[in-house]
Amino acid sequence: MKTATPLHYHSVIRMLGVLLLVIGFAMIPAALVGLFYGEMREAGIFTATIIPCLLAGLLVVKLFNPAGLRTRQREGYLIVTLFWVVAPLISAIPFLIAGMITNPIDAFFELCSGYSTTGATILSNLEHYPKSLMFWRSLTHWLGGMGIVVLATALLPSIGIGGQTIANAETPGPTMSKLTARFSDTSRRLYILYAIFTVAEAVLLMAGGLSLYDALIHTFGTVGTGGFSNYSDSVGHFTSPYVRWVITAFMILCGINFNLYFLLFQKRFKEFFSDEEKRLYLGMIGGFILLITLDLLGQGGYTSFVNAFSDASFHVASIVTTTGFATTDYDVWPAFCKTLIVILTITGACASSTGGGVKMIRILTAIKYVRRGFFLKLHPNRVINLTVNGKAVGASTVTNIVNFIFFFVAVLFAGTLLVSVDGFDIVTNFSAALTCLSNVGPGLNLVGPSMNFAAYSNFPTLVLAILMIAGRLELFTVFMMLSRNYWNSDRA
């Protein structure tokens, strides 16, 4: 056992200063949108939030400069958790001042939904709100998609956080392969790729006749796999098949492990195409689209194959990548389609993408693990390795993956129980907890795609907000804070 060392609170506080700076800068585009559309009051509110944010941030960073203190993994978890709790709190301020959301807990929920790229909302009649605030709401998707900490290290490599170890607590998926020697280089490259996707989609959407504003809002929702729209009927507002297919394609692209794209740049095509996780992901998308299309034609009352296929494709892509856009109310679809959607909500997208859920790589490993379990039951003395992409997966990685799946199930049921205090039906509560935990957004029944979360009272709203953050940070980072072992340095 190592000697007991207390948590380094200095570096934690310093990082919060950095967070204030990041949020302060990020709000500037929103203020500009306000100016552009002549929303002077909102622009003023943003300015009034930005200035104290930046000043306080600068002050904290200057005052807390723990020279020589390396940030360890242990502080990393605390930093990341605090980041993800404080960011929605600060970002909610403009909404509260503007009176767009009056209940602070609702505002916290909405911004948690934004940063965690969930897309669940308590707002209705979205067309009537100020454009600048709606822009800020969607921008949080973009910030949260790749990770705030990753963003901070990409922008400010010299801020002195440990990089990789901390970002591991924030990046979705079990492993984060090291692409470059320095982590800040990796994170910068990730953000460059992210920016390329963003620009490409926005341009393509504008080519389809969307205004720059609409294009940006939906691009943020897509590449961050969030799902906020500025229309009540979500993407269903755009009748053009072109727009819907562009969004479908970009959702699927952003659900793939971003590290894989670097293989393309390095001309390692074989590795790219043979990646097992990606194959499972695309295979599932293909299979589920087929099944849902057939069921929509058979039981769902669709008469045109093209309509059924395009609606099925859009929603499969939207749910599996945990985006949560909708073109139609899938809650009226047959039970078979809805059950498949529930399964997609659980599986989620690939690791190291912007999507949430359990993640394909974990599903893949779990399937192989179960298969091996069978084999061992029959042939108790055999030794079999578990391999993914031709490489043996270590026992501790497998254990971690099983741990995660169990934790996910436990939190899902505990969440359902807590959310049930409002007395809505079981399906509503279960799907609300699930959709928030996997960062999808819409659920079934009362929280279906045509409904919203406004009906929940304060306590369930808060629980759902925490589920979103916990789901985005892959459970352990957040729930570790509840463990005695984390705080008690003597036991370390």
Binding site for another protein (CB under 8 A): 73-74, 77, 299, 334-336, 338-340, 342-343, 346, 366-367, 369-370, 372-380, 399-400, 402-407, 409-410, 413, 416-417, 420-427, 429-430, 444-445, 476-477, 479-480, 483, 485-486, 492
Shortest Å, Cβ 419 to another protein: 9
CB of 425 to another protein, least distance (A): 6
State the minimum distance, in angstroms, from the CB of residue 411 to another protein.
9
Residue 169: CB minimum distance to another protein, A:
9
Cα distance between residue 17 and residue 24, in whole Å? 11
Contact (Cβ atoms closer than 8 angstroms) between residue 476 and residue 410? no
Pair type for strands 387-388 and 391-392 = antiparallel
- Of 59 and 417, the one with the shorter C-beta distance to another protein is 417
CB 387 within 8 A of CB 404: no
Work out how close the CB of 409 gets to another protein at its nearest, in angstroms, rounded to a whole number: 7
CB closer to another protein out of 231 and 479: 479
> What are 391's strand-pairing partners?
388
> Which residue number, 124 or 339, has a Cβ lying nearer to another protein?
339
Distance in angstroms (rounded) separating the CA atoms of residues 421 and 157: 46
**Nearest distance from C-beta of residue 108 to another protein, angstroms:** 23
> Are residues 176 and 167 in contact, defined by beta-carbon separation less than 8 angstroms?
yes
Residue (181 or 335) nearer to another protein, CB: 335
Q: Describe the crossing of helices 258-265 and 183-207 by its angle, rounded to 10 degrees.
A: 90
In angstroms, the CA 57 to CA 55 distance is 5
114 or 162, CB closer to another protein? Answer: 162
∠ Cα 115 354 91 (to 5°): 10
**b/e sequence 328-352, b meaning 16+ C-beta within 10 Å:** bebbebeebbbebbbebbbbbbbbb
Cβ distance to another protein smaller for residue 212 or 421:
421
Q: Dihedrals φ, ψ of 185, to 5°?
A: -65, -45
Closer residue to another protein (CB): 271 or 425: 425
Q: Which is nearer to another protein, 53 or 312 (CB)?
A: 312
CB of 249 to another protein, least distance (A): 27
For residues 340 and 350, which CB has a smaller minimum distance to another protein in the complex?
340
Nearer to another protein, 84 or 228 (CB): 84
Output the CA angle 156-161-164, nearest 5 degrees: 100
Task: State whether residue 388 is helix, strand or coil.
Answer: strand
Q: Give the whole-angstrom CA distance, residue 356 versus residue 435.
A: 10
Amino acid at 149: V
- Cβ atoms of residues 18 and 150 within 8 Å: no
Q: How far is the CB of 80 from another protein (least distance, A)?
A: 12
User: Rounded to the nearest whole angstrom, what is the least distance from the CB of residue 369 to another protein in the complex?
Assistant: 7
CB-neighbour burial class of residue 29 (10 A; exposed 0-12, middle 13-18, buried 19+)? middle
Distant-in-sequence, close-in-space partners of 483: CB < 8 Å, separation ≥ 6: none
Minimum CB–partner distance for residue 432 and another protein (Å): 12
The residue assigned the tokens 């352990």 is 476
